[in-house]
Chain A
Amino acid sequence: MSHTVLVCDDAIFMRTMITDILAQAGFEVVGEAETGTQAVEKYRQLKPDLVTMDIVMPDMGGIDAVREIVKNDPDAKILMCSAMGQQALVVEAIQAGAKDFVVKPFQPSRVLEAVQRVLG
């Protein structure tokens, strides 16, 4: 059975790209979210094996979303998607409970490595 993934990003382009990378590697993208609030809601509904989380999203940011999700599921496996120059935010996300991160621009191999690490 393939792992299920929830992809959270406010940009369709980014969601598409991540979805493609993961789908080609055999993962099943079961849902997408455009805001932090949606991410928290969909996590509750879908219980995915993995979440990819953009940091900057409207409504509720990625870090707050991580906090909310981990509050309900301490074992949630969340991979942060960040840009260079966001070190402080990524550190904060990790302290909030994110398990790993990838840096844009995405290289498929690095994304998959990170996913493997998170899924253990």
Chain B
Amino acid sequence: MDLSQYAELFLAESREHLSACNQLLLEWERRPSSPEPVSGIFRAVHTVKGMAATMGYGRVADLAHRMENLLDHLRRSGKPPADEVLQLLFRATDTLEKAVGLAVTGRERDLDVSALAAELDRAVPKQPTTPSAAAPSSLSAAAALAASVPGAGRLVQVTIRPEAPLKGARAMLVIRKAQSLGTVHRIQPPPQAFEAEEFEGRVAFELDTNVAPAEIEAALRTVGDVERVSVGGGGDEGLAPAESVAASGRSRHIRVDLRRLDTLMDLIGELVTARGRLNEIAARWVGQDPAIDDIAIQVSRLSAELQSEIIQARMTPVWQVFDRFPRLVRDVARQLGKQVAFRVEGKEIELDRAILDELGDPLVHLLRNAVDHGIEPPAERKRHKKNPEGQIVLAAVRERSTVAISIADDGRGIDRDKILQKAKREGVVGPHVEALSDDQLLRVLARPGFSTADAVTAVSGRGVGIDVVLTRLRALGGSIEIRTEPGKGTAFVLRLPVTLAIVRALIAAVGQERYALPLTYVAETVEFGTTPMTTMEGRDAIVLRDRVVPLVDLRKLLGTNGGAPAPPPRRPVIVLEMGERRSGIVVDGMLSQQEIVVKGFDAPQGTLPVFSGATIMGDGVPALILDAAGLV
């Protein structure tokens, strides 16, 4: 049978297991005497091995097999692992992940795992009771690997029918049958588990035999009540003829190619646009035939439901990206000789898959910075009477239609004075500025190429990273905020729309053009002239409930030409709010509030950096979407 159709499923599931493996290794590293992690790691590696063998990925299965040997030994010994053993397992997990990735692209042989395999083998004390496991010591590591492969048993996995009674007894019969074909090793779970009533009917073992895989399968099926048999290759063997892992999927979830969801989203987008047109036409014709109104309403309702379902289908919990960070933070900390306790909160918060995928890199940047520049070395922390172990918290929180993701450390904070000096030297701020607010600080830090290591020791490199992070967030319609206090730490807060594809927006008119402002950041609207006027840093501003809100006149900003009709006497002000910052956008008129479909937008050179995309209005005319982050 063609196994390639299962490659993606194999990849996704293997990655999940390896991610779990990393989590458990971290836990084990923190509490080496705890017995739980090793069983979980063993199970994860074992599962990967089984799947890889089924797919015919001999090298992946072999590497997993060797890890499993070591884990099995550690599990049995019950002793806390030595640090070098843990580090070896970390490396092995990484390599296994790489091997999995290469295997599905058909490049399994690109990765040389012989040295690692030998290292794993060496870490397992030789057991005299299983002479076959010990390779002749005179051989080199690579030769030992090569020599051990042909002799290695086939991995056999059997699943008993779920409805079968006494699955454990049935599994025992499977083992007996296998023993009639050859030598059986490493039965998982061990046969004692068959005696438990709750045994769920999956058994795996290795079978040393000359019998062909197809015959092994046929023989084991004669045992009865066998749902599935998979016979893996022994090293270089070809594909297993068995049914695939996919066959056992009784889960109520299916995996869907993300591109499918994107296409669906695009189609829904067009439907929403068409719905808009239909509503406009219906409004004109309702006098002739009232039924058109009913049908328009029905189409509206159905498309709205469809849309919310499809958006829901795109929602992905943030842990899918966050789960790799504990390992990252640990690695960076270790490398830099820092002690860091890393905590993740709000793992279950969901974001549009497209946003989440884009978020990984910026977060990696910020986390690296937090470890590298935020957290002080243990000695320095002690001198300042701080816990030598620094804290970094990555937290996701849902705030109405946005998700806020914060990265907070309890490190040294950013040295504002140094940044200020540097900013003055470079003319980023005027010479009379005495202190930088958090906002100004961020603007300075985010200037491309602003910081250099020698000038801003406390935050070396941070500026460059922030620049990249800010650009990415802008593209996603998000924003970033910084809070920092000397000696106490630094926090970055990223705010993102929950979904990219469809947003509710305010449609405003300026001259003859229409512009869309996503409601995500609209706080309120007021009428120009009804609130007290003032100025702020030389800009017009209004006073709104004792707060000064600087104004941006879109007519002036966009250079609306004289051909446009004169502005009405009382112009509306749309107040945008992004974190602590506010800004009032002065427009000519407000037309409607509606859902718009966000289309990507490649701004021509020289375009003002205030547009985040474009949309098609109900009448088919395009309108630009204003980027709140660029206006506030």
Answer yes or no: are A and B bound together in one complex: yes
Query: In the complex, A84→B165 CA distance in Å?
Result: 7
Encoded as 1 (CB less than 8 Å from any B CB) or 0, chain A from 87 to 112 comes to: 11011101100011101000000000
Residue from B165, B166, B195, B222 whose CB has the most chain A CB atoms within 10 Å: B166
Residue B196 CB within 8 A of the other chain: yes
Chain A residues whose CB sits within 8 angstroms of the CB of B238 once the complex forms: none
Report the minimum CB–CB distance from A95 to chain B (whole Å). 7
Query: In the complex, A90→B168 CA distance in Å?
Result: 9
Chain A residues whose CB sits within 8 angstroms of the CB of B165 once the complex forms: 84, 103
Q: Are A94 and B173 in contact, CB atoms less than 8 angstroms apart?
A: yes
Q: Are A117 and B223 in contact, CB atoms less than 8 angstroms apart?
A: yes
Chain B residues whose CB sits within 8 angstroms of the CB of A84 once the complex forms: 165-166
Nearest residue in A to B198 (C-beta to C-beta)? A87
Q: Are A91 and B224 in contact, CB atoms less than 8 angstroms apart?
A: no
Residue A85 CB within 8 A of the other chain: yes
Query: In the complex, A114→B164 CA distance in Å?
Result: 13
A90 touches which of B166, B191, B196, B223 (Cβ 8 Å): B166
Residue B301 CB within 8 A of the other chain: no
Q: Are B195 and A87 in contact, CB atoms less than 8 angstroms apart?
A: yes
Query: In the complex, A91→B166 CA distance in Å?
Result: 9
Q: Are B166 and A101 in contact, CB atoms less than 8 angstroms apart?
A: yes
Residue B169 CB within 8 A of the other chain: yes
Q: Are A91 and B197 in contact, CB atoms less than 8 angstroms apart?
A: no
Residue A86 CB within 8 A of the other chain: yes
Query: In the complex, A71→B248 CA distance in Å?
Result: 40
Q: Are A91 and B195 in contact, CB atoms less than 8 angstroms apart?
A: yes
Report the minimum CB–CB distance from B221 to chain A (whole Å). 10
Query: In the complex, A62→B234 CA distance in Å?
Result: 40
Q: Are A94 and B169 in contact, CB atoms less than 8 angstroms apart?
A: yes
Query: In the complex, A100→B165 CA distance in Å?
Result: 12
Residue B194 CB within 8 A of the other chain: yes
Report the minimum CB–CB distance from B57 to chain A (whole Å). 33
Query: In the complex, A88→B168 CA distance in Å?
Result: 8
Query: In the complex, A108→B224 CA distance in Å?
Result: 16
Query: In the complex, A113→B225 CA distance in Å?
Result: 10
Report the minimum CB–CB distance from B205 to chain A (whole Å). 15
Query: In the complex, A95→B192 CA distance in Å?
Result: 11
Query: In the complex, A110→B76 CA distance in Å?
Result: 40
Encoded as 1 (CB less than 8 Å from any A CB) or 0, chain B from 177 to 197 comes to: 000000000000001001111
Q: Contacts A91-B172, A94-B173 given; indicate if A86 touches B224 (C-beta within 8 A).
A: no
Query: In the complex, A100→B173 CA distance in Å?
Result: 7
Q: Are A94 and B166 in contact, CB atoms less than 8 angstroms apart?
A: no
Query: In the complex, A89→B222 CA distance in Å?
Result: 22
B194 touches which of A91, A99, A114 (Cβ 8 Å): A91
Residue A82 CB within 8 A of the other chain: yes
Q: Are B172 and A114 in contact, CB atoms less than 8 angstroms apart?
A: no
Chain B residues whose CB sits within 8 angstroms of the CB of A88 once the complex forms: 168, 195-196
Query: In the complex, A95→B173 CA distance in Å?
Result: 9
Interface residues in B156-179 (C-beta closer than 8 Å to A): 165-166, 168-169, 172-173, 176
Q: Are B173 and A87 in contact, CB atoms less than 8 angstroms apart?
A: no
Query: In the complex, A82→B173 CA distance in Å?
Result: 15
Query: In the complex, A64→B172 CA distance in Å?
Result: 18
Q: Are A82 and B222 in contact, CB atoms less than 8 angstroms apart?
A: no
Q: Are A87 and B224 in contact, CB atoms less than 8 angstroms apart?
A: no
Q: Are A91 and B223 in contact, CB atoms less than 8 angstroms apart?
A: no
Residue B199 CB within 8 A of the other chain: yes
Chain A residues whose CB sits within 8 angstroms of the CB of B172 once the complex forms: 90-91, 94-95
Query: In the complex, A87→B176 CA distance in Å?
Result: 16
Report the minimum CB–CB distance from A63 to chain B (whole Å). 12
A114 touches which of B176, B199, B224 (Cβ 8 Å): B224
Report the minimum CB–CB distance from B610 to chain A (whole Å). 71
Nearest residue in B to A80 (C-beta to C-beta)? B169
Encoded as 1 (CB less than 8 Å from any A CB) or 0, chain B from 50 to 77 comes to: 0000000000000000000000000000
Chain A residues whose CB sits within 8 angstroms of the CB of B197 once the complex forms: 85, 87
Report the minimum CB–CB distance from B581 to chain A (whole Å). 67
Encoded as 1 (CB less than 8 Å from any A CB) or 0, chain B from 87 to 112 comes to: 00000000000000000000000000
Report the minimum CB–CB distance from B408 to chain A (whole Å). 52
Query: In the complex, A49→B115 CA distance in Å?
Result: 56
Interface residues in B275-290 (C-beta closer than 8 Å to A): none
Query: In the complex, A88→B167 CA distance in Å?
Result: 11
Q: Are B223 and A87 in contact, CB atoms less than 8 angstroms apart?
A: no
Nearest residue in A to B165 (C-beta to C-beta)? A103
Q: Are B168 and A91 in contact, CB atoms less than 8 angstroms apart?
A: yes
Interface residues in A38-91 (C-beta closer than 8 Å to B): 82, 84-88, 90-91
Q: Are B166 and A82 in contact, CB atoms less than 8 angstroms apart?
A: yes
Chain A residues whose CB sits within 8 angstroms of the CB of B176 once the complex forms: 94
Report the minimum CB–CB distance from A90 to chain B (whole Å). 4
Report the minimum CB–CB distance from B172 to chain A (whole Å). 4
Chain A residues whose CB sits within 8 angstroms of the CB of B168 once the complex forms: 87-88, 90-91
Encoded as 1 (CB less than 8 Å from any A CB) or 0, chain B from 215 to 237 comes to: 00000001110000000000000
Query: In the complex, A18→B409 CA distance in Å?
Result: 74
Report the minimum CB–CB distance from B33 to chain A (whole Å). 32
A117 touches which of B169, B194, B196, B222 (Cβ 8 Å): B222
Query: In the complex, A114→B165 CA distance in Å?
Result: 13
Nearest residue in B to A92 (C-beta to C-beta)? B195
Residue from A86, A87, A92, A99 whose CB has the most chain B CB atoms within 10 Å: A87
Chain B residues whose CB sits within 8 angstroms of the CB of A87 once the complex forms: 166, 168-169, 194-197, 199
Q: Contacts A100-B224, A117-B224 given; indicate if A86 touches B166 (C-beta within 8 A).
A: yes
Encoded as 1 (CB less than 8 Å from any A CB) or 0, chain B from 479 to 490 comes to: 000000000000
Chain B residues whose CB sits within 8 angstroms of the CB of A86 once the complex forms: 166
Q: Are A91 and B222 in contact, CB atoms less than 8 angstroms apart?
A: no
Chain A residues whose CB sits within 8 angstroms of the CB of B196 once the complex forms: 87-88
Chain B residues whose CB sits within 8 angstroms of the CB of A85 once the complex forms: 197
Query: In the complex, A86→B194 CA distance in Å?
Result: 11
Report the minimum CB–CB distance from A46 to chain B (whole Å). 25
Chain B residues whose CB sits within 8 angstroms of the CB of A100 once the complex forms: 173, 224
Nearest residue in A to B171 (C-beta to C-beta)? A91
List residues of chain B with CB under 8 Å of any chain A CB: 165-166, 168-169, 172-173, 176, 191, 194-197, 199, 222-224
Nearest 10 CB-CB pairs, A to B?
A88-B195, A90-B169, A103-B165, A94-B172, A87-B168, A91-B172, A91-B194, A91-B195, A87-B166, A117-B224
A-B contact pairs, 17 of them (CB 8 A): A82-B169, A84-B166, A85-B197, A87-B166, A87-B168, A87-B195, A88-B168, A90-B168, A90-B169, A91-B168, A91-B169, A91-B191, A91-B194, A101-B166, A113-B224, A117-B222, A117-B224
Q: A87-B196, A90-B169 are in contact. List 15 more A-B contacts (CB 8 A).
A: A82-B166, A82-B169, A87-B166, A87-B169, A87-B194, A87-B197, A87-B199, A88-B196, A94-B169, A95-B191, A100-B224, A101-B166, A117-B222, A117-B223, A117-B224
